[in-house]
Amino acid sequence: MPTINQAFKEITCKIVYYGPGFGGKTTNLQLIHGNVPAKHRGDLVSLATEQDQTLFFDFLPLDFGDVKGYKTKFQLYTVPGQVYYNATRKLVLRGVDGIVFVADSQATRLKDSVDSFYNMIENLREYDLEIGQVPVVIQYNKRDLPSALPLEDLRKHLNPEGRFEEFEAVATEGVGVRETLRAVCSQILKRLNEQANIVSDDEIIGERLGLLGETQEGSDSASGASTTTARTKAPIRKGPMLDIIQTSRWVWGGIGVGSGSITISTRPTPDGANEYTLSSRHRIFMVSRQFTRPMKYIGEDRRLVDGTQRTYHVLRDADTGAKTAPITAYVEQAKLPRVYLIYPGFMGDVHVGPEGEQPVF
Ligand SMILES: Nc1nc2c(ncn2[C@@H]2O[C@H](COP(=O)(O)OP(=O)(O)O)[C@@H](O)[C@H]2O)c(=O)[nH]1
Ligand SMILES: [Mg+2]
């Protein structure tokens, strides 16, 4: 379970790259480090000696910025693959939230890959974790080598039931590296939502993971390694008709700072989607303000509120290039509809909800 710091609104997820020595784990991290924009990543720290590149481990922190007001961080680790470094491997696995298993596709390395996989299962058990309890993504690396086994042979040994999401990769060329990371991050965030109701919507997750680069279908297979679970482009989502006026309260830093009214109206478009307009007239700190924004439908977000499962429609600024702070709206379509807004303010997020209620978001 990722570490959630409610006071600092921070979620930290630990991802471990596991696998046999010289399989390509460090190469994965190097490629990620080289491709994620600098503002989203820290330094790649490799604890290694000159004699042995894989003596200790590598560490790479990634910062995905805000997801629903929570700063989301991923910490990537590799383990030393050599059989005799099991104590270090076990230690690195402590508190793991997701695993990328990097298998070496070469026939001569099959036994090492399989041994490493079972070693991983054993080490997880030391922490009372069964394999199904942690997201695991398998990466079949070194697909470029002539000695690489056919995918089917590797699968038979490492993923016979197809339980794990899997990718082919040529880590040295960056092929399959992002896709693998994306998949494990996405699985972690989905699980996080099921357990803690913090992040859920696929598109919101996708947007965050966008900085890892898009899956380029076709181009991967052209170089001989296609993702076996390629994602397709998200379809245009059609939201419901929403027509709401709500007397609302503005909260900032946990304190009520103003009130006013917000409205949401809907306009159908020829392509079958709906367009939304969000407008607000309110007073914050005794100063009158107002705004009008075009919004687009993102999807549904389910979360637990006071012990009951509720569904919210999520709207986001349609004009993403706007210089104004992006607003996210959550609309609960109940008998008495409720609208919640969240947007970054001067110092911390501004939360808006129905008058007389603590904002849920
Ligand atoms: N041909 C080929 N070599 C690779 C690939 N990925 C990694 N390597 C090489 O395999 C060696 C071991 O990689 P490394 O990332 O250090 O493995 P680690 O021990 O799992 O961290 C290095 O020489 C890499 O350049 C790949 O996809 N294809
Ligand atoms: Mg290494």
Tell me the domain boundaries of the chain.
3-222, 244-354
**Which residues have C-beta within 8 Å of that of residue 219, sequence separation ≥ 6?**
none
Model pLDDT, residue 147: 94
Point out the ligand 1 atom lying closest to the alpha carbon of residue 20: 20
Residue 10 DSSP SS3: strand
pLDDT at 320 over 70: no
What distance lies between CA 78 and its chain's CA centroid?
19
pLDDT band at 253 (very low <50, low <70, confident <90, very high): confident
pLDDT band at 76 (very low <50, low <70, confident <90, very high): very high
DSSP character for 50?
S
CB 350 within 8 A of CB 342: yes
Average pLDDT of the residues in 189-214: 61
Residue type, 344: P
Instruction: List residues, by chain if needed, whose CB lies under 5 Å from ion ligand 2.
Output: 25-26, 54
Point out the ligand 1 atom lying closest to the alpha carbon of residue 54: 19
Compute the mean pLDDT over every residue in the chain, rounded to the nearest whole number: 82
CB 191 within 8 A of CB 99: no
Point out the ligand 1 atom lying closest to the alpha carbon of residue 19: 20
- The topology (CATH level 3) of 3-222 is Rossmann fold (3.40.50)
Virtual torsion, Cα 296, 301, 305, 309, nearest 10 deg? 130
3-222 and 244-354 have identical folds: no
Q: Tally Cβ neighbours within 10 Å of residue 44.
A: 16
Residue 38 DSSP SS3: helix
Nearest to 164 by CA among 97, 229, 74, 67: 229
Point out the ligand 1 atom lying closest to the alpha carbon of residue 21: 19
**Which residues have C-beta within 8 Å of that of residue 324, sequence separation ≥ 6?**
291, 293, 317
CA distance 338 to 75: 37
Q: How many angstroms is it from 22 CA to the middle of ligand 2?
A: 7
Model pLDDT, residue 361: 74
Q: What is the CATH number of domain 244-354?
A: 2.40.128
pTM for the predicted model, two decimal places: 0.62
Which residues, in sequence order, are bridge partners of residue 338? 332
CA distance 189 to 72: 10
**Which residues have C-beta within 8 Å of that of residue 15, sequence separation ≥ 6?**
74, 75, 76, 77, 96, 97, 98, 99, 100, 181, 184, 185, 188
Model pLDDT, residue 299: 77
Model pLDDT, residue 113: 97
Q: Whose CA is nearest to atom 3 of ligand 1?
A: 142
Nearest to 101 by CA among 61, 154, 153, 48: 154
What angle separates helix 110-126 from helix 86-93, to the nearest 10 degrees? 60
The ligand that comes nearest to the alpha carbon of residue 171 is 1
Helix (H) or strand (E) holding 293: strand 287-305
Which of 17, 46, 47, 172 has most ligand 1 atoms within 8 Å of its beta carbon, as the pocket-test mutant? 172
CB 115 within 8 A of CB 145: no
Which of 16, 17, 18, 22 has most ligand 1 atoms within 8 Å of its beta carbon, as the pocket-test mutant? 22
Average pLDDT of the residues in 97-120: 97
pLDDT at 227 over 60: no
CB 209 within 8 A of CB 182: yes
CB 178 within 8 A of CB 213: yes
CA distance 193 to 288: 37
Q: Please list every protein residue whose CB sits less than 6 Å from any atom of ligand 1.
A: 19, 21-27, 53-54, 78, 81, 102, 141-142, 144-145, 170-172
| Least reliable range by pLDDT among 39-53, 221-235, 248-262 | 221-235
